[in-house]
Structure 1
């Protein structure tokens, strides 16, 4: 629900806005900073350099004599997710300005562009949203805004990262061909049951039942996790086809009859989900909000839980 009181002024006083200029390199758009500075003249706006660490910059600001009352970020989903974690840690609201390639969380929140984000901030419109917390081997929890994934999607991102010098598009094409040749299923165990899967997606809130790859959440306040497993009963081609998340792409793949049948999928809606990922031929990697992470090749425990009203964010 909207909160009538905003801890920052409409002119930006009380706001620290960090800018990840490296986000969204594949998107051609005008520089939004002049408009942001003009409409938020009292905000502290800082562009992150290649050696700047977002956590350190926020910690330094919070330890100062006039700590920010709102943390803001201009960047992609990875930067937004990390800033959300810091906003929760310091118990302040989050201000999101979309600045990445896909901006999945920003779009779910109705922040389709810079103008929408600035308008929500100026109106002081705060909403409480559900988040998830991810932990590996019972370590410190990480805030998740959209989804966690195991299997094919992390493997695809790992292959694309190795081809980063080619750019996102060419690197992605190369990663797809590599996954079609060498993709490996993952074995997971839960509650005494072991399964071999091509992929798992754990989305924040209930998502479209027709999709398997849940990159963007549908609602902000649904206090559950939507878990999708793709059991490894079909080919790698089907496994890669299941990663499609655009409506038109899904329609084309269904028309070509390369989408996996419903019998290969399993869905669970729950408030928490915990599995042990078994060691095997598949790389020990996972993804949260588009961020690729490495885990122990000897196996690891991945746990996710929903946190209702876990974050306050400016949104229409």
Structure 2
């Protein structure tokens, strides 16, 4: 076996020397200084981090691609420099193998195997391709140029580059274990058989929340132009949105459709009113993250208006929660108890800087570090927990950061909580999250139920609905409401 390995290594070495000598015989050209420049630009991943900074300026897939790419570079560098080079040292090509005009003035002195530049190039390009394939394809020639430049300038053998590229590709692909790629298709839902089609907005009452989304970007003028017949309503200071909408609708005449342009908090209030009034809901995504609109498949104002004109709609599930003896509360995405509201607050605060998944991980660590265990009774079973999460329909991924829903019509709640009644429960949970093995972790509970009752056996705790902290209480009855909301979305 060892002799076979030795012969294989010798064959690789021979092929490496042959390729370098052939490359050295190529005539001098303008590619020589260009390749020297690009290899310097890629030092310490400056090139790729610069591309990531540009991509991060645009929301959605481009920003996710930038964050996944930067994360993949960090892990690929750790593998190549922390594991590969120390364990498999190899001398770099001799300087005299290549003409002087192609050599670097200050060649690196670390192990030649594997190529860190190639690993970073492959990691970043693969990670970007996972989120935005068209961008990954566009970056492929640049990644190939960086990888070849290491051979052209005489600081790596070809097999160093090949193995470095393989490491980078594998590391980027492995990020999906902790951070699954969000599908580009909308969530499945039941097609509606009863839909009101409005051409110019006559019969539409549209709640517009200018404080949602980016500061200074009020969508009122655009909506008034697209839907001239609609009646636009703005939130009143210090007034509950749901109560304001009910009061306004009581004074209106022939209202056929209720609409909302805002974030998930505004959408939840409008959805509750729409269900209670038996009206179809138009959702215009103008918030910061627009979770519900993204799951629904309404990515823009234009597509929302087009769905209204076509009369295209679906029926989706909502969640409800009774807090103590108070009236029923609705939520379109999630509801949570304990440290989860604090985690949501920190995650939303940091998302613009780091992206949702890294911000969520950092917020979770911060909350778990300072949280106090909450004694509860969940469906009659006494526990101590750190936090509790209930999502409408099943969320993906099933581990650390629930992000999207494949379906909006399952009729169940996605229930998750972290136990605090086990030895080293926080450490066990964090270890499971980092290794992608939460399903085998007793500190983490995830199940799907149509209803769940949580009784807090201590001081009242806060309830967060759709990312906004609302009521405090001791008894929380969560339930899934099958097909409760009639909402527009493009065909």
TM-score, structure 1 normalization: 0.79
Q: Deviations over 1:198-222 (max 9, x none)?
A: 2221111122253354354332111
Offset at 1:191?
A: 4.2
* Structure 2: gaps of 5 or more residues: 1-189
Q: Deviations over 1:11-60 (max 9, x none)?
A: 11110111111112xx4785533332222111112333435542344233
Offset at 1:176?
A: 6.9
1:245 — aligned with what? none
Asked if the contact 2:391/2:413 (under 8 Å) is kept, the reply is yes
Matches within 5 A, 1:163-312: 179=367, 181-208=369-396, 210-214=398-402, 216-232=404-420, 233=422, 234=424, 236=426, 253-254=434-435, 262-279=441-458, 284-296=461-473, 300-312=474-486
Mark the structure with the bigger radius of gyration: 2
Offset at 1:275?
A: 1.6
Q: Which stretch of structure 1 is more off in the superposition, 46-55 or 266-275?
A: 46-55
- Structure with the higher fraction of residues in strand conformation: 1
1:106 — aligned with what? 293
* Structure 1: gaps of 5 or more residues: 243-249
Out of 323, 326, 330, the position equivalent to 1:136 is 323
Give distance in 1, aligned partners of 2:315 and 2:403. Answer: 21
Give distance in 1, aligned partners of 2:194 and 2:221. Answer: 27
Q: 1:168 to 1:236 in 2, by over 3 A?
A: farther
- Structure with the higher fraction of residues in helix conformation: 2
1:81 counterpart = 2:255: no
Offset at 1:261?
A: 5.9
Asked if the contact 1:150/1:199 (under 8 Å) is kept, the reply is yes
Highest relative contact order (Cα 8 Å, sep 6+), 1 or 2?
Answer: 1
Q: 1:115 to 1:265 in 2, by over 3 A?
A: same
Q: Which stretch of structure 1 is more off in the superposition, 148-157 or 229-238?
A: 229-238
**1:63 match: secondary structure:** helix
Q: 1:218 to 1:185 in 2, by over 3 A?
A: farther
Give distance in 2, aligned partners of 1:156 and 1:114. Answer: 30
Give distance in 2, aligned partners of 1:238 and 1:287. Answer: 26
Give distance in 2, aligned partners of 1:209 and 1:176. Answer: 16
Q: 1:237 to 1:42 in 2, by over 3 A?
A: farther
Offset at 1:260?
A: 9.3
1:126 counterpart = 2:313: yes
Q: 1:75 to 1:65 in 2, by over 3 A?
A: closer
Give distance in 1, aligned partners of 2:245 and 2:217. Answer: 27
1:17 — aligned with what? 206
Asked if the contact 2:345/2:467 (under 8 Å) is kept, the reply is no
Give distance in 2, aligned partners of 1:93 and 1:240. Answer: 42
1:314 — aligned with what? 488
Give distance in 2, aligned partners of 1:160 and 1:293. Answer: 18
Give distance in 1, aligned partners of 2:463 and 2:455. Answer: 13
Q: 1:121 to 1:190 in 2, by over 3 A?
A: same
**1:210 match: secondary structure:** coil
Offset at 1:4?
A: 5.3
1:92 — aligned with what? 279
1:246 — aligned with what? none
Give distance in 2, aligned partners of 1:96 and 1:30. Answer: 17
Q: Which stretch of structure 1 is more off in the superposition, 128-137 or 39-48?
A: 39-48
TM-score, structure 2 normalization: 0.53
Offset at 1:61?
A: 3.0
**2:386 match: secondary structure:** strand
Matches within 5 A, 1:53-72: 53-72=240-259
Give distance in 1, aligned partners of 2:281 and 2:217. Answer: 24
Offset at 1:97?
A: 0.7
Asked if the contact 2:280/2:488 (under 8 Å) is kept, the reply is yes
**1:295 match: secondary structure:** strand
1:116 — aligned with what? 303
Asked if the contact 1:7/1:14 (under 8 Å) is kept, the reply is no
Q: Which stretch of structure 1 is more off in the superposition, 181-190 or 222-231?
A: 181-190
Asked if the contact 1:189/1:277 (under 8 Å) is kept, the reply is yes
Offset at 1:154?
A: 1.7
Q: 1:182 to 1:126 in 2, by over 3 A?
A: same
Q: Deviations over 1:234-280 (max 9, x none)?
A: 465776899xxxxxxx7xx448x9x7962322222221111201215
Give distance in 1, aligned partners of 2:346 and 2:330. Answer: 25
